[in-house]
Chain A
Amino acid sequence: MSDVGDTVETTVGTVEESGILDAPLVIGGRTFRSRLIVGTGKYADNRTMVEAIRASGTEMVTVAVRRVDLDRTKEEGILYHLSPDEFFLLANTAGCYTAEDAVRYARLARAAGFNEWIKLEVIGDQTTLLPDVAATLEAARTLAAEGFKVMAYTNDDLVTALRLEEAGCVAVMPLASPIGSGLGVVNPYFIREIKRRLEVPVIVDAGVGTASDACVTMEQGVDGILMNTALAAADDPVRMAHAMRHAILAGRLAYLAGRMPSREIAVPSSPVTGMLD
């Protein structure tokens, strides 16, 4: 599916890398040219996953920590398909429902020997997959004290976001809408408010469904987006990855450019004078 146009990709890449129109994203002292972080779960096959991830232009991918399947009936380890030299690995604590479990998974992830970064995620409700913010805070404090660079998945609550920043997180990641829902940003005001008040980067994590969602999300002024299902569950993940790359850049530049005021009245764009008799 790489017929989607090397020309446009090159153009986007040029803008991303030029540093003229936008500054790079810096998280925890590490610089990223792409403002997109992508997950590696739920793809129909590994080849499509790798192709989509490359097409997205991302430099950081999330991975999960799980038992090795000794019966080989499930998937092999992700590192058989994705090189840690090509992508910065951000391990997650997905599936954890307590602070204790999240800390355990984070320590296992660090012991893999790649880096000390962790996407902290402590779920509080099985139906909505909304975060347990008390447990998330507790785990964030523990992990930050142990030297982890914590990127914390949280809800769109300002006070929790502030507490996570105080706890030492290198990025705070409020949801746009529930994980895997594809509902887009349900509360743009709260996302803007979190971005306004935090010093650390704000990455919107979860809920973006398509390119327009990504664009609208970036127009709120946030520093980046983390997504998985929007790519993996698209009919054509590689094409969608190209679309997301463009949408994120478009939304970011539109935010930086500053939009015109919206008004519920028409104003002509052409001169009203000089018309013929």
Chain B
Amino acid sequence: MSKLLPWLFVAALALLPVAFPDPYLLAVLTSAGIFIIGAISLNLLLGYTGQLSLGHVAFFGLGAYTSALAALGFDIGIGFGLRITLAPQPAWLGFIAAIVVAGGFGWLLGRLAFRVRGAYFVIITICFAQVLRMVALNWIELTQGPMALISIPPFSLWLPGQGVVALYSKAQNYWLVLAVAVVAFLVVRQVVESRIGRALVALRSNESLARSVGIRVTHYLVIAAVISAGIAGAAGSLFAHYVRIVDPDVFLFIYTVTMVIMVITGGKGTLWGPVVGGLIFGLIPDLLRGHAAPEAQWVAYGVAMILFVMFLPRGIVPALASLRPRP
């Protein structure tokens, strides 16, 4: 039963566009879904290594820029009269590039940042995202700076019998995001249930003990950072091809906060936490629209955040699990 339930949930979500084809609902869920993928990736760092990254949006933004640039092509000078030129590439190639580039930066940041822990780590990740935002803002030849990369083509897929199809419709984009979310979920589950995951949990509970029994701390943390960053890059790629504009605001601090609060609300360190929390905090802003003054909507968002953290510090999923009678 408990094995079947998740698949029923996925099936219900997959059937939604057929059963209830309200385009607004699909738009909201697609947009929330992209951030849920971000939250799933963040959970690997925050939930399983205990390291709070408040610069996670850096990987998301890197993915978005990589994917957009691959799709649009670019031509930049790198000094000494040399130029790098890339012709426009299909979207799926950009998607893979986004994962690779974001993952690469995850490795870099992992090497650098895991030398410091706790509050240091938090602040260094914030700074990292800020630096990337400044680069995106000012490397105009590549990123168009504040003028933004526009006219990004929608995602295209090869579908059996139909060839390469551009995904314009709401339902198609919704299914794509759902599919990527399921894959991201399975990847994280695989990692968590593997050797790496057990090492991470050992680290989280007692680092010095883990070290003493020969677990290579930095090594495993860096692996987790790379995988987490790669998935966030994939989410960024989806964002770029869905919203079809990427500007330096993709590195906004509030996006990271959104992902973190999704993870915390649902329950960090649980596989389903980011999904549950993501549905709640992905839908709250859109449910509030039109029901309160714009500033009041933000106040409500902030209050909801405080209440969830104060009164359900471990998150909804663990709280529900503890309600269930034990045999």
Do A and B come from the same complex?
no
Interface residues of A (CB under 8 A from B): none
Chain B contact residues, CB within 8 Å of chain A: none
